[in-house]
Amino acid sequence: MNRRVYLDHNASTPVHPEVLEAMLPYFAERYGNPSSIHGFGRAAREGMDVARERVSSFLKVGKDEIVFTSGGTESDNMAIKGVAAARGRGHIVTSAVEHHAVLRTCTALESQGFTVTVLPVDGYGMVDPDDVRRAIRPDTILVTIMHANSEVGTIQPVGDIGRVTRERGIAFHVDGVQTFGKLPVDLDALNIDLFSFSSHKIYGPKGAAGLYIRKGTKMVSVQHGGEHERRRRAGTENVPGVVGLGKAVEVRARDMAEEEPRVRALRDRLWEGLQARVPEVRLNGHPTERLPGTCNVCFRHIESESIVLGLDLKGIGVSAGSACTAGNVEPSHVLVAMGVPLDWAMGTVRCSLGRTTTAEDIDYVLDSVEPLAGKLRSLSPLKG
Amino acid sequence: MRYSQILIEHFRNPRNAGMMRDPDGVGESEYAECMDLARVFLRVRGGRIEEARFQTYGCGPTIAASSAATELIRGRALEDLLDLTETTVETAVGGLPADRAHAAQVVTAAIRAAARDAAARAGRPAPAPGE
């Protein structure tokens, strides 16, 4: 049996044992509807309250500024459509490297009469805050820029962008799914008005996430029904999931600072090893302003999928940077926006490390990838 | 695993990989949508395939299909390869998921092109020395 090494933490993470333990009672013991006033309901409500308290203290915001949702995608939709619906018309500024949950939401709004400016990025995938300033028009209602990119890990200058939006009185949404629980975030200091976050990227369960909505932000609910979440998101809450999210945040608050340099060092060990052992590789993303666990690499003249498959056969889970679906390869929109040449972009692999990644894991990956890349290149007609 | 055991085995241990010196026929096919590229070399003796080799850039299924197909066509009559079907190649790797059907397409097209090249060369005089 092969060793198993999971290097896809930006996609999802294993639930932390402490998180699982915290969640378990909320399936069969504290199963009430948190909206019910009886004891069963109150027990579930208590779990929600604790989770809300943990999230709000982690983000240093008010408890009533947190809305729980089903996922990062829902949070992004809620933020962008909620602001758009409150204003009825106007202009939105975003960037070319956003998650599809943001980009496609903006496209959908365009078809409803809103206008959208999609800002370019530099070769590292970074947005220039001056571009944001220049893009703002009198009718701009929202700027939505992600905190860190899920593919290449580049951290955007959200503080500088937040100064611009605050000065101009424009709502600022940040998709923080990749940074929440990985990096310290001070939403006030960064002038962020709306912040999407998720649980399953930080060792919590899937299906639980949230949106921070700064008090006073003009937005309306996009999902109608009951009075849940202070009428901002109708639907019975995923209580076990939210409890898990709360516990995950508590664990991250405790472990984050200690873990970050360890993961960063392993990430650098991986990249240094790849550079030393595999010819024609390049690193995507910012050299320093990058998520501590993200190492996105291009292998020239090898197709991503064949590397992912070859590593999978060695028990290693990484993700392909260019996805081949239905016989069509779409180089990632992020790499395209960064200007990565196609013959490199086609061979992109993202390795994302996490709390359980060890130095032995990294060495095993290096020992596996070196002969694999050599073999795939020896098969390839595209040499030099 | 979404791929067949046969496909995985060919991907792990590709047969007939690499170029061939002085082949009797060479064919290439590119699947533009995903940029897969397969090149097939044939050595023909007495109208039959004595040896087939390939060079392929592509996803795992395309590499595996190249390996399986070059193994499959060995010993076959050259003229039979002119109308080799994608289904034959797909069967040789134990089937393909719908979104990887191109693997059989690109490899089949490269083999057919190599067979056409070999047939054309066989029908004309050998090049003069130094040409």
User: Residues A275-288: pLDDT tens digits?
Assistant: 999 999 999 999 99
Domain total in chain B: 1
Region B8-12: what's the mean pLDDT?
A: 96
Q: Which residue has the higher pLDDT, B32 or B101?
A: B101
**Long-range pairs, B16-19, Cβ under 8 A, ≥24:** B16/B51, B16/B52, B16/B53, B16/B54, B16/B67, B16/B70, B16/B71, B17/A378, B17/A379, B17/B53, B17/B54, B17/B55, B17/B66, B17/B67, B18/A378, B18/A379, B18/B53, B18/B55, B19/B53, B19/B55
3-state secondary structure of B58: coil
Which of A253-262, A289-298, B118-127 is predicted with the least confidence, judged by mean pLDDT? Answer: B118-127
Indicate if A371 and A325 belong to the same structural domain: yes
* pLDDT at A71 exceeding the cut of 60: yes
Q: Which domain holds residue B18?
A: 5-120
Q: What is the pLDDT of residue A322?
A: 66
Region A214-233: what's the mean pLDDT?
A: 92
Contact A355, A263 (CB under 8 A): yes
Indicate if A104 and A231 belong to the same structural domain: yes
Indicate if A149 and A203 belong to the same structural domain: yes
- Of A306, A325, A381, which is closest to B55 when you measure between CB atoms? A381
- Of A313, A329, A379, which is closest to B17 when you measure between CB atoms? A379
Q: How large a percentage of chain A has pLDDT more than 70?
A: 97
* pLDDT at B125 exceeding the cut of 80: no
Q: Which domain holds residue A32?
A: 17-252
Q: Does residue A112 fall inside a structural domain? A: yes
Q: What residues 69-108 of chain B have any CB closer than 8 A to a CB of chain A?
A: 98-102
Instruction: Identify residues of A whose CB sits under 8 angstroms from chain B CBs.
Output: 301-303, 305-306, 309-310, 313, 324-329, 342, 346, 376, 378-382
Active site residues of A: 324
Contact B75, B52 (CB under 8 A): no
Query: Predicted confidence band at A343 (pLDDT cuts at 50, 70, 90)?
Result: confident
CATH of the domain at A303: 3.90.1150.10
Q: What is the pLDDT of residue B2?
A: 86
DSSP-assigned states of every residue in A141-165: EEEE--SB-TTT-BBP-HHHHHHHH
Q: What is the pLDDT of residue A44?
A: 97
Indicate if A204 and A321 belong to the same structural domain: no
Q: What is the pLDDT of residue B74?
A: 97
CA distances in angstroms from A100 to A97, A106, A318, A336, listed in the order given:
9, 9, 20, 14
Q: How large a percentage of chain B has pLDDT more than 70?
A: 93
Nearest residue of B to residue A305, measured between CA atoms? B59
Q: What is the mean pLDDT of chain A?
A: 95
Q: Which residues of B touch A310 (CB under 8 A)?
A: 11, 60
Indicate if A34 and A161 belong to the same structural domain: yes
Indicate if A359 and A326 belong to the same structural domain: yes
Domain ends where: A230, A252, A274?
A252
Partner-chain contact A306 B58, CB within 8 Å: yes
- Of A309, A329, A380, which is closest to B60 when you measure between CB atoms? A309
pLDDT tens per residue, range A244-256:
999 999 999 999 9
Query: Predicted confidence band at B131 (pLDDT cuts at 50, 70, 90)?
Result: very low
